Amino acid sequence: MSKKILLDKINVPGIKTYEVYRKEGGYASVEKAIKAMTPDEVVEEVKKSGLRGRGGAGFPAGMKWSFIDKKSGKPRHLVCNADESEPGTFKDRYLMEFIPHLLIEGMITSSFALGANLSYIYIRGEYMWVFKILERAIAEAKAAGWLGKNILGSGYDLELHVHCGAGAYICGEETALIESLEGKRGNPRIKPPFPAVSGLWANPTVVNNVETIASVPWIINNSGDDYAKIGIGRSTGTKLISASGHVKNPGVYEIELGLSVDEFMNSDEYLGGMSSNRPLKALVPGGSSVPILPANLIFKTANGEDRLMTYESLSDGGFATGSMLGSGGFIVYDDTACVVRNTWNFARFYHHESCGQCTPCREGTGWLEKVLWRIENGQGREEDIDLLWSIQSKIEGNTICPLGDAASWPVAAAIRHFREEFEYHVRFPERIKNRNHFVAEP
Ligand code: NAI
Ligand code: SF4
């Protein structure tokens, strides 16, 4: 049984409410941090824990916190990125919906560490009911004296607001989120400067994912060293995984990092194997932005090592860098799934969500969608597969924000591992048309 530190209390009746959450030991990390620690000591514990960003990039959280300029005299901010929109990812919603005070507690402890007096939770527009849950939790925390002026008589003040987006995926990119919070169109900014130097209203700002911030209370209540003992290597702690697709038990799971993919997929404690009793065909291990793995690379790496649920182990070998654990959106496909159709579906999404600022992304994502559409609909040409390869290679690395890479990687991986399926679509268009899933032309 994996260790649980985020979802251990999720089934306690009434845990959504302040009274029950507090009775179960909630807000202890705020008390400990404010009464017995300095802000720098809190940062040090998070550094020691090895906690890495749970939104997708896996950047060390303590290191990000230590980049904050505390000497400039400018106000500082903590912004929680709750704009969860990566296809296949729904774990932050689960946390916020069922144990909202864990996030509020993490926000207060983390804001104290950063010396932030004004912090925000930016939540995606489609999560309106969760927005209301958070608003209520913030009001309860404030009424109980955990927010506002002079918290616990310490002289530390904190205002916390929850802000609702308007339905744009790009606002999950941290600088687009900041633009949106400032009341502007959510266009990503060029980095550097990173938000830690110049973020919200040009003030030093840390942007962290919901799950990252919700991990902080456990670290402070126990210790950074204790957290670092959970997990494996540089993948410390636990991770929430949103599992979907052709498995018996889809849902949100908290796993200890380092669990084998085989155990996660096949044991009854987790996904329980394939729902269909059909062969496993492919896996997208970390949300739509990360490369698809073919069946022969799911349980073993190309070097023959066991594939593990870690930041390091889930790459398909096609890219030198990048966290392929991504946002933890684990999508499983059996042999009835069409990789071309799936790749087209992802491409359509990225084209729709591109903000349009840079040419390779704005134009390239449109071309990826168009060419994939014609292959999927039996109108593909032999040269289209190389054309797709060429388009994606011209997007990757040539854009302001990672949406461009996110659009190109799934196409590259699909061609790399399933080229024969693209060729089949081109060579046998009449068989493709007969599958009765013709899709509207872009
Ligand atoms: P990134 O690697 O550019 O940055 C990671 C974090 O580290 C950022 O907060 C950045 O400001 C900070 N950072 C990096 N170098 C720094 C430096 N030298 N000084 C100060 N701060 C520094 O990645 P990014 O753009 O934050 O995230 C991309 C990831 O987001 C993708 O891997 C994708 O999986 C994921 N994603 C997740 C979504 C979700 O719904 N959870 C949606 C879309 C993408
Ligand atoms: Fe906008 Fe795409 Fe450029 Fe990102 S990569 S800034 S989404 S056009």
Torsion of CA 419, 423, 429, 434, to 10 degrees: -30
Q: What is the pLDDT of residues 55-66, one digit of tens each?
A: 999 999 999 999
Q: Is 366 in the pocket of ligand 1 (CB under 6 A)?
A: no
Average pLDDT (314-330) is 73
| Closest ligand (CA of 175) | 1
Q: Is the Cβ atom of 211 under 6 angstroms away from ligand 1?
A: no
3-state SS of 200-261 is HHHCCEEEEEHHHHHHHHHHHHCCHHHHHCCEECCEECEEEEEEEECECCCEEEEEECCCEH
Q: Ligand 1, closest atom to CA 322? A: 32
Residue 289 beta carbon below 6 angstroms from any ligand 1 atom: yes
* pLDDT confidence band for 72 (50 / 70 / 90): confident
Q: Name the strand (E) or helix (H) holding 206.
A: strand 205-209
CA of 37 to the centre of ligand 2 (A): 41
pLDDT at 247 over 90: yes
Question: pTM for the full model?
Answer: 0.96
Cα–Cα distance measured from residue 221 to residue 408, given in angstroms and rounded to the nearest whole number: 42
Give the model's pLDDT for residue 231.
Answer: 97
Q: Whose CA is nearest to atom 38 of ligand 1?
A: 86
CA distances from 54 to 43, 60, 71, 135, 328 (A): 17, 10, 28, 23, 8
- Give, for 92, the enclosing helix (H) or strand (E): helix 91-98
Q: Are 58 and 237 in contact (CB under 8 A)?
A: no
Position 353 scores a pLDDT of: 98
Ligand 2: which of 403, 405, 408, 409 to mutate, judged by most atoms within 8 Å of the beta carbon?
Answer: 403
Average pLDDT of the residues in 278-286:
95
Within 13 Å of residue 108, how many CA atoms lie on the same side as its CB?
Answer: 31
Query: Whose Cα sits closest to atom 4 in ligand 2?
Result: 401
Q: How confident is the model at residue 435 (pLDDT cuts 50, 70, 90)?
A: low
Which amino acid is residue 418, in one-letter code?
A: F
Q: Quickly list H helices, 99-191.
A: 100-114, 128-143, 174-181
Judge if the beta carbon of residue 401 lies within 6 A of ligand 2. yes
pLDDT tens digit sequence for 359-381: 999 999 999 999 999 999 999 99
Structure tokens at 29: 């990390």
Ligand nearest to the CA of 396: 2
Residue 395 CA: which ligand 2 atom is closest?
Answer: 5
Q: What is the rounded CA–CA span in Å between residue 345 and residue 288? A: 10
Q: Bridge-partner residues for 260, per DSSP? A: 308
In this structure, the residue with its CA closest to atom 7 of ligand 1 is 59
Distances (CA, A) of 273 to 42, 50, 280: 41, 31, 9
The one-character DSSP state at 159 is E
Q: Which of 86, 90, 206 to mutate for ligand 1's pocket (most ligand atoms within 8 Å of CB)?
A: 86
Model confidence at 322: pLDDT above 80: no
Identify the burial level of 183 via C-beta atoms within 10 angstroms of its C-beta, where 0-12 means exposed, 13-18 middle and 19 or more buried.
exposed
By DSSP bridging, strand 251-256 and strand 238-245 are: antiparallel
- Tell the burial category of 155 from Cβ atoms under 10 Å away from its Cβ (0-12, 13-18, 19+): exposed
Q: What number does the ligand 2 atom closest to the CA of 176 have?
A: 6
| Ligand 1 atom 9: residue of nearest CA | 207
Task: Report which bound ligand comes closest to the CA of 189.
Answer: 2
pLDDT, tens digit (0-9, with 9 covering 90-100), for 144-199:
999 999 999 999 999 999 999 999 999 999 999 999 999 999 999 999 999 999 99
Tens of pLDDT along 294-303?
A: 999 999 988 8
Find the length of the chain. 442
Kindly identify the ligand whose nearest atom is closest to the C-alpha of 405: 2
8 Å CB contact between 188 and 400: yes
User: What pLDDT score was predicted for residue 187?
Assistant: 98
Calculate how far, in angstroms, residue 172's C-alpha sits from the geometric centre of ligand 1: 10
Our answer on whether the CB atom of 188 is closer than 6 Å to any ligand 2 atom is yes
Choose which residue among 190, 191, 401 to substitute to test ligand 2 binding: the one with the highest number of ligand atoms within 8 A of its C-beta: 401
Number of H helices, E strands in the chain: 16, 11
Q: Which atom of ligand 2 is nearest to the CA of 362?
A: 8
Query: Is-cis flag, bond preceding 192, omega within 30?
Result: yes
Answer yes or no: is pLDDT of 315 > 80.
Answer: no
> For residue 193, is the peptide bond before it cis, meaning its omega torsion is within 30 degrees of 0?
yes
Q: Which atom of ligand 2 is nearest to the CA of 354?
A: 7
Tell me if 404 CB under 6 Å of ligand 2. Answer: yes
- Give the pLDDT mean for 407-411: 96
Radius of gyration of the chain (CA): 22
Indicate the SS3 state at residue 300.
Answer: strand
CA distance linking residue 376 with residue 411, whole number of Å: 13
